[in-house]
Amino acid sequence: MIEFKNVTKTFKNTAVLKNINLTINDGEFLILIGPSGCGKTTSLKMINKLITPSSGNILINGEDIMKKNTIELRRNIGYVIQQTGLFPHMTIGENIELVPFLNKWTFEERRKKSKELLDLVGLEPDKYIDRFPDELSGGQQQRVGVARALAVNPDIILMDEPFSALDPITRNTLQEEVFKLQQDLKKTIVFVTHDMDEAIKLGDRICIMKDGDIVQFDTPEQILRNPQKGFVEGFIGANRLWNQPEFIKAEDIMIKSPITSSPNRTVLQAIGIMQSSKVDSLLIVDNDNKLQGIVTSKDIRENMINPSLKIGSIMSKELIYVYNDESICLVLKKMNNHGVGYIPVVDKFGVLKGLVTKSSLITLFEEKLF
């Protein structure tokens, strides 16, 4: 666990960080984001003592880092920067093996580790281990930078805008690689970026900074759903949630007051309800508003010969529905798979919460995106 406790940093009488309090959990992918000069890179560099606080404390696993040997601290924290920082006169293998060399690993141990790590980041060991950095593309160099950061199996990895100089395709590929690595290795990663799309794609939690302060700190979903009014809303874009379909839930898009009926209504009464509400089906609920079935206009037409018949006896009980916290992707998939134009939304107790229709979806997305 990494903890910032009342951390302030001042450069030439200018406060770059203002009494920051921040906790980063073990195994968490934490994003620091904000405009230039907000303090995100300063915060990152404080974790490995490249910058020291003017006041306050930074703890790793409960121990104040200012009381730790700086060289020992840095050798146990991986560090990846935008420019890769590879030594041009050293081979790829030698670059990866540098910290193990300083830690007095044998050549065989170092070489075995560097081959394992090259394989881990998607570079063929026998093809790349004896090459020099200038023989590799920018994306390949960044892969080597990630491998080097993992060389001594650190618990913490710091990444300072590592992909910002890469082309979009390479950048997306490396984002996926780093995300998969973190899922597999469960390292604590602190990642600085200025790109909100990158932050949403990678982070378990996002810390948004402005002028040396933390203005919002939460999961990507919660920040998209409830951005702080003003700066955060403007920074991320008020409608960004609607560009991230995996975060949009059925409850975000449903009609909250669908037309319902008791199963004790007659066919004649059902006709009246449908006509007055301009709908061609009724959702049937009990006294606790639990979904029981559905009656369509077709069902009604087939039973008009008996207008006093209770609709509970003709309703369909083979229901297709979604839960209120299921994503819009799943909602659309169910609608398409079953060839329906609408689908009820219930909670985990079966209580009807709303209705999603294709026409309401089209209207909603036109409002939000156009």
Report the C-alpha gap between 216 and 32 in whole angstroms: 11
Residue 238 has pLDDT above 80, yes or no: no
Average pLDDT over residues 41-52: 92
Residue 241 has pLDDT above 70, yes or no: no
The enclosing H or E element of 75 equals helix 70-75
Residue 148 has pLDDT above 80, yes or no: yes
* Angle at which helices 138-149 and 168-185 cross, to 10°: 20
320 contacts 340 by C-beta, under 8 angstroms? yes
> pLDDT-based confidence at 369, cuts 50/70/90?
low
* Token representation of residue 93: 């293998």
189 contacts 159 by C-beta, under 8 angstroms? yes
What confidence score (pLDDT) does residue 325 get? Answer: 86
Average pLDDT over residues 218-226: 84
What confidence score (pLDDT) does residue 9 get? Answer: 92
Name the nearest CA neighbour of 80 among 166, 157, 155: 157
> pLDDT-based confidence at 60, cuts 50/70/90?
very high
Question: What's at 191, amino acid-wise?
Answer: F
Burial of 240 per CB tally in 10 Å (0-12, 13-18, 19+): middle
pLDDT tens digits for 69-115? 998 888 888 888 877 678 889 999 999 888 888 888 899 888 998 88
Helix (H, G, I), strand (E, B) or coil at 234: helix
Residue 366 has pLDDT above 90, yes or no: no
pTM value surpassing 0.75: no
What confidence score (pLDDT) does residue 181 get? Answer: 83
Lowest mean pLDDT among 30-44, 265-279, 355-369: 355-369
Name residue, tokens 């001594």: 152
CA distances (Å), origin 145, targets 53, 90, 234, 246, 270: 27, 13, 34, 31, 68
What confidence score (pLDDT) does residue 239 get? Answer: 63
Provide, rounded to the nearest whole percent, the portion of the chain with pLDDT above 90.
29
pLDDT tens digits for 149-197? 888 888 899 998 888 777 888 788 888 888 888 888 888 999 999 888 8
- The full set of domains in the chain, from first to last, is 2-247 (3.40.50.300), 251-369 (3.10.580.10)
Report the C-alpha gap between 45 and 95 in whole angstroms: 21
Mean pLDDT, all residues of the chain:
86
Which strand ranges, in their side-by-side order, compose the sheet holding 2-11?
14-24, 2-11, 55-60, 63-64
Q: DSSP class of residue 136? A: S
Residue 242 has pLDDT above 70, yes or no: no
Report the C-alpha gap between 259 and 269 in whole angstroms: 13
Name the nearest CA neighbour of 6 among 54, 40, 48, 70: 54
Half-sphere exposure of residue 270, counting CA atoms within 13 Å on the CB side?
Answer: 33
Average pLDDT over residues 275-291: 89
Residue 32 has pLDDT above 90, yes or no: yes
Report the C-alpha gap between 92 and 132 in whole angstroms: 6
Strands 156-160 and 342-346: unpaired
